[in-house]
Amino acid sequence: FPAPLGGHFDQMVVLDADSVMNGETIRTLSARMEGDPDLALIQTMPVLIGGETIFARLTQFAGRFTAR
């Protein structure tokens, strides 16, 4: 998509199929990109949610505990 049509847009938000991001966060990212023309990429901190296995729950806990 970006190669043939990317020139028609100022920005692009890429989300995985299981990504969860609220509209305010997308607006904030967009405003940040518009405010700095030299900025090429912004990546948010991924946060694991809804883990069901013990490994997923431990990873989720560790991410919450250390990422902030």
Mean pLDDT of 45-60: 84
Nearest to 66 by CA among 43, 48, 42: 48
* Helix intervals (H) in 1-68: 2-5, 23-35, 54-66
Residue 13: give the domain boundaries: 2-66
* pLDDT range class, residue 68, cuts 50, 70, 90: low
**Given this model, what pLDDT does residue 7 score?**
76
**Given this model, what pLDDT does residue 28 score?**
92
Tokens standing for 45? 């901190």
Mean pLDDT of 35-47: 84
Q: How many domains does the chain have?
A: 1
Please indicate whether residue 32 or residue 65 has the higher confidence score (pLDDT): 32
49: exposed, middle or buried (Cβ count in 10 Å: 0-12, 13-18, 19+): exposed
